Amino acid sequence: MEMGIVVGRVTATRKDENLVGTKLLITQAIGLDGAPLDSQPVITVDTVGAGIGEKVFFVKGSMASRAVRNKDAPVDAAIVGIIDSLECRNFKG
Amino acid sequence: MEMGIVVGRVTATRKDENLVGTKLLITQAIGLDGAPLDSQPVITVDTVGAGIGEKVFFVKGSMASRAVRNKDAPVDAAIVGIIDSLECRNFKG
Amino acid sequence: MEMGIVVGRVTATRKDENLVGTKLLITQAIGLDGAPLDSQPVITVDTVGAGIGEKVFFVKGSMASRAVRNKDAPVDAAIVGIIDSLECRNFKG
Amino acid sequence: MEMGIVVGRVTATRKDENLVGTKLLITQAIGLDGAPLDSQPVITVDTVGAGIGEKVFFVKGSMASRAVRNKDAPVDAAIVGIIDSLECRNFKG
Amino acid sequence: MEMGIVVGRVTATRKDENLVGTKLLITQAIGLDGAPLDSQPVITVDTVGAGIGEKVFFVKGSMASRAVRNKDAPVDAAIVGIIDSLECRNFKG
């Protein structure tokens, strides 16, 4: 899983029928210090009630679909948790 | 999922029999500002009636096949929605 | 799917028994202009009768196995079509 | 699989119900010399009792879920072994 | 699939029970000329009796598990063939 921050939301009227009712959030990957990375943001399905500005972790690939109620939804990224805190040691020293 | 813009179309007479009848569009990933990224475009199966110049989002990997009617089609990228609008906040500031 | 050009062939006597009889072609990803990219070539299973020098498109990941007759073959890349032509508009302008 | 070192731990109260009870460790990929790479760390489910500072190897993608007891858990990275030692030859000349 | 050279071996006493008995080799991706690339080496399960220094090709992702006898093994990379020879043409002009 990757860490990210929710930065936005996508509105899409025409979409796969199995995506109807899903909340599509734009998530930017972040580093251990919480700062956004240079990578491109990802459209993720929210499954835990995340809001803009919250730090989350998300699953990519086919396993993302496990988090979604509709088992036919074509989904490759899903937010599966909200980060309370990180405990982290520096080994790059 | 990733955001993209449809930039073209592929014609292929000889192809896997399970791809016959699919519409193969060339999609270029775009950033939050809608500008094309430097990444290579992807051949995507269109499942929502997208046209050239439209901004879409697409699924990659095995989940792309869920969007395709033929359940034996060898597909690793599919357009699953057309973007109406993005609501987005900047956290890079 | 990605666009590529077939650049070679792999001979392998010792291989997974479910790969016996497959044609293993080396495919180099290409850009919209047909020029080879700097990425590393991929070993792809040919399922459409492609030959060296032909422009093709190929599937990656588990969906590649759908194109292969032997449903137990451990395959993560397969050529699934030969490109006749691309119709493409430039949005980078 | 990739080699990594466990560098931290994630606490998340709100998460997918199928992740309840999993131990979420932050793993940094390392090179053959054991030094951390520049890549971003990954949130991995621990399935072998790994601790911070231990060198491990982890599986990514849908196969990671095989290592997790709950077969509905949305998981794309899991620690599946602790490295005792590497035997390695240099072919980079 | 990718081309690689076997450069080492991993010893791991504590590991997922479904990995017990697997031979874990370290494989470095190579180019068409056989020279090691700059990418990080991968831990691969050997399924064809490969040895250190041999040139092989390996499968990544969930399809790697098809090459492994234990169908519950959490495996995302497996050596599935030993390269006898490459026949290759240069299209980079």
Q: To the nearest whole angstrom, how far is the Cα of C55 from the nearest Cα of chain E? A: 11
Q: How high is the pLDDT of residue E33?
A: 93
Return the domain boundaries, chain C: 2-82
Question: Nearest Cβ partner of C10 from E59, E86, E92?
Answer: E86
Determine the pLDDT at residue B31. 95
State what percent of residues in chain A have pLDDT above 90.
95
Q: Which two tokens stand for residue C45?
A: 């299973």
Q: CA distances (Å), B52 to each of A12, B10, D25, in order?
A: 17, 12, 44
| Domain covering E2-82 assigned CATH 3.50.50.60 in the classification | no
Residue E43 near residue E60, CB atoms below 8 Å: no
- Which residues of chain D lie closer than 8 angstroms to E75, CB-CB? 1, 59, 63
Spans in chain A with pLDDT lower than 70 = 92-93
Residue A65 to residue B66, Cβ atoms within 8 A: yes
Chains that touch D (3 or more CB pairs under 8 A): A, E
Burial level of A46, CB count in 10 A (0-12/13-18/19+)?
Answer: buried
Instruction: List the single residue in B with minimal CA-CA distance to A72.
Output: B66
Q: Which residues of E touch D81 (CB under 8 A)?
A: 10, 12, 14-16, 19, 24
Nearest 5°: phi and psi at E38? Answer: -80, -5
Rounded distance between C-alpha atoms, residue B59 and residue A52, angstroms: 22
Chains contacting A (3+ CB pairs below 8 angstroms): B, D
Q: Which residues, including other chains, have CB under 8 Å from residue B73's CB and lie 6 or more apart? A: B16, B18, B19, B22, B45, B65, C66
Q: Does the ipTM surpass 0.90?
A: yes
Percentage of chain A modeled with pLDDT above 70: 98
Q: What angle do CA D63, D9, A50 make, to 5 degrees?
A: 80
Please give the distance of CA E86 from its chain centroid, rounded to a whole number. 17
Give the gap in angstroms from C-alpha E87 to the nearest C-alpha of chain C.
Answer: 5
In tens, the pLDDT along B43-78 reads 999 999 999 999 999 999 999 999 999 999 999 999
Confidence of residue C69 (pLDDT cuts 50, 70, 90): very high
- Span E11-67, pLDDT tens digits: 999 999 999 999 999 999 999 999 999 999 999 999 999 999 999 999 999 999 999
Token pair of D68 as six digits: 């997790």
Which residue, among B27, B54, B86, would best test binding to A if mutated, counting the most A CBs under 10 Å from its CB? Answer: B86
- Dist. CA C61–CA C17, nearest whole Å: 20
**Pairwise CB contact (< 8 Å): A86 & D11:** yes
Nearest to E22 by CA among E10, E39, E32, E4: E10
